[in-house]
Amino acid sequence: MATTMTAFRERTVGDIAAHLAGATAVFRKHKIDFCCGGDVPLAEAAKRRGVDVANLETALGALAAAPPDAPEDTVALVDHILTRFHETHRRELPELVKLARRVETVHREHPQAPHGVADLLERAAAELGDHMAKEEQVLFPAMQAGYGGSLDMPIRVMRHEHDGHAEIVHRLEELTQGFAPPPDACRSWQALYAGAEKFVTDLTEHIHLENNVLFPRFERRWAASARL
């Protein structure tokens, strides 16, 4: 047990998230960034957030017997990303933008009115739309076809765009006070924050699967062939 706990502390957040089913929920609960900022050891990530690393290790230790929850097969993993995340973002974001516009307009005099949320969600929809199209048209087909050359450059571009999406997430959390509607918020306002929080949860999981699970399969191949 002690060995497992030491190992968690020293492993990167992204590596734990990629290989331990349920770890992402633990990280989300403690606000540990596992998708774009997952490249640091757990001990360091915990320190940054002011979280006791021993508590995290205990929670992760309880999950340690479970197998990873991402498909092993790359074709299946890409299909999962497309249906579970790309399709969901495309379906839900336009509705969220409309809802945000309505709430902002109706409650514009409210001291906690969510000014800027509709524009931000619209930006998220546009940037994600472009980004997902690139993955769908170029990168993912190459991965599913088992392309043997270097995908290092397009992966680097996708990782950089993910960092931009993470900034949108942080801004959305700020503008909505952590998705907490005021006590007198109407049903639409509550629905907007619940929907925005779900979007952020989905997007975080989506980026995590690409950054920590899918991309390293191809980057490793590139790194190995580069050493020859």
Instruction: Kindly list the residues in this chain that would bind Fe ion in the complex (CB under 5 A).
Output: 135, 210
3-class secondary structure per residue, 144-213: HCCCCCCCHHHHHHHHHHHHHHHHHHHHHHHHCCCCCCCCCCCHHHHHHHHHHHHHHHHHHHHHHHHHHH
The smaller minimum CB distance to Fe ion, of residues 28 and 159, is found at 159
Q: How far is the CB of 89 from Fe ion (least distance, A)?
A: 9
CB 115, CB 104: distance < 8 Å: yes
Query: What does the alpha-carbon distance between residue 151 and residue 155 come to, in Å, rounded to a whole number?
Result: 6
The smaller minimum CB distance to Fe ion, of residues 29 and 90, is found at 90
Q: How far is the CB of 159 from Fe ion (least distance, A)?
A: 8
Q: How far is the CB of 210 from Fe ion (least distance, A)?
A: 5
The smaller minimum CB distance to Fe ion, of residues 15 and 135, is found at 135
The smaller minimum CB distance to Fe ion, of residues 104 and 135, is found at 135
Q: How far is the CB of 212 from Fe ion (least distance, A)?
A: 12
Give whole-number Cα distances, 9 to 42, 137, 166, in Å.
5, 39, 24
